[in-house]
Amino acid sequence: MNLDLSDSELAFQAEVRAWLAANVPAEPLPSMDTAEGWALHQEWEAKLAAERYSVVSWPREVGGREASLIEWVIFEEEYYRAGAPGRVSQNGIFLLAPIIFDHGTPEQQARFLPSMATGEKIWAQAWSEPEAGSDLASLRSTATRDEERGGWILNGQKTWSSRATYAHWGFGLFRSDPDSAKHAGLTYYLFPLDAEGITVRPIAQLDGEAGFAEIFFDDVFVPDADVLGAPGDGWRVAMSTAGNERGLSLRSPGRFCAAADRLVELWKTHGDAAPQSRDAVVDAWIGAQAYRLFTWGTVTRLADGGEMGAAGSVNKVFWSELDIALHETGLDLLGPEAELAESPWMDGFIFSLSGPIYAGTNEIQRNIIAERILGLPREPKGVQK
């Protein structure tokens, strides 16, 4: 048992650190959920991609450098330590790409992955519907077969679709067989958000910015070439994404360790005025270290061929609550200055509040932990139409 990095891993770390030090913008970019910020974040993605840093773990032919899982964690640690910009391409890279690798055709891989890696095409996830949130499989948006044109006709409404305001493509589940049972009869589709029949309506989030959107589908044609996985197999295909979203890939430890380090710095300057925050500062730092070490354990297991499985739910509840605690403590230390609009701690806090809700609410995660890890009996379900 050891946490030592190999010589090549240390060399990779040094290379990444040096590149980030030379290239990370000195001033934070404007929010990616504004037109100006969006363009600047796309430019940053292109800059990363030029050095194959945008998708380090991907194969070389689609823009990566075939980094190992350990190197990926190293990259993420360095990325957050350097205070580099948020990843506007995150949903495509982390949520969709793993599915395209596993379930996509070679043609789809060649068509979609390179432009995702460069940030030229940004993807938005279209899963939730007004009546299908935690109970995702009850979704009602439909896909109807169009034999003549060789594809499907989408109708319905998706909502809470992050980045959809400015994104280029969407991915989501539709009910392609109205007669089959709930989880069966769903199919996974890819569609350009400027397709005929699609209307995107931005929704302002808690911070006032249009970070997500509703998407309306009115007879939108999707060719067979843009169906991901087999028709009717959408639920199984999508659930491999859910594991990624909850688990390792979305929230790397570097993010929390960097925030905890900033919190300790804030304590040094503000702690005298807020001594009651001492325990919270310490617990936030301990939590970030726990997350870092836990992640190395997960990486070890995955590298040995293990699977994330329901452990992703343990991970998700922990990081989402840690993220809020970290930022709440920062705000406590800032005292009456905390509410100022220019405070990065407030931005981080508002963002952290979404953590226990998206990617499967923490209540759903606790059900998964209780039923699949602890082996407690499933709860009887309500009557469904």
Min CB(243)–other proteins separation in Å: 17
Q: Which is nearer to other proteins, 1 or 341 (CB)?
A: 1
Min CB(332)–other proteins separation in Å: 15
Q: Which is nearer to other proteins, 43 or 371 (CB)?
A: 371
* Helix 344-352 and helix 311-334, axial crossing angle in degrees, nearest 10: 150
Residue 333 class from Cβ within 10 Å (0-12 exposed, 13-18 middle, 19+ buried)? buried
Q: Which is nearer to other proteins, 70 or 353 (CB)?
A: 70
State yes or no: is 245 an active-site residue: yes
Min CB(245)–other proteins separation in Å: 18
Q: Which is nearer to other proteins, 228 or 280 (CB)?
A: 280
Q: CB-based contacts of 29: which residues, under 8 Å, 6+ apart?
A: 37, 40, 41, 44, 85
Min CB(282)–other proteins separation in Å: 4
Min CB(325)–other proteins separation in Å: 13
Q: Which is nearer to other proteins, 99 or 364 (CB)?
A: 364
d(CA 95, CA 359): 10
> Contact residues for other proteins (CB under 8 A)?
1-6, 9, 70, 261, 264-265, 267-268, 278-279, 281-283, 285-287, 289-291, 293-294, 296-297, 299-301, 311, 314, 317-318, 363, 365-367, 369-371, 373-380
- Long-range contacts, 295-304 (Cβ 8 Å, 24+): 295/73, 295/248, 295/252, 295/253, 296/3, 296/73, 298/247, 298/248, 299/69, 299/70, 299/73, 299/248, 302/69, 302/248, 303/68, 303/69, 303/70
In order, the DSSP letters of 335-380 are GGGTT-TT-HHHHHHHHHTTTTTSSS-HHHHHHHIIIIIS-PPPPP
Catalytic residue, from 71, 78, 245, 328: name it.
245
Residue 109 class from Cβ within 10 Å (0-12 exposed, 13-18 middle, 19+ buried)? middle
Q: Which residues are catalytic?
A: 245
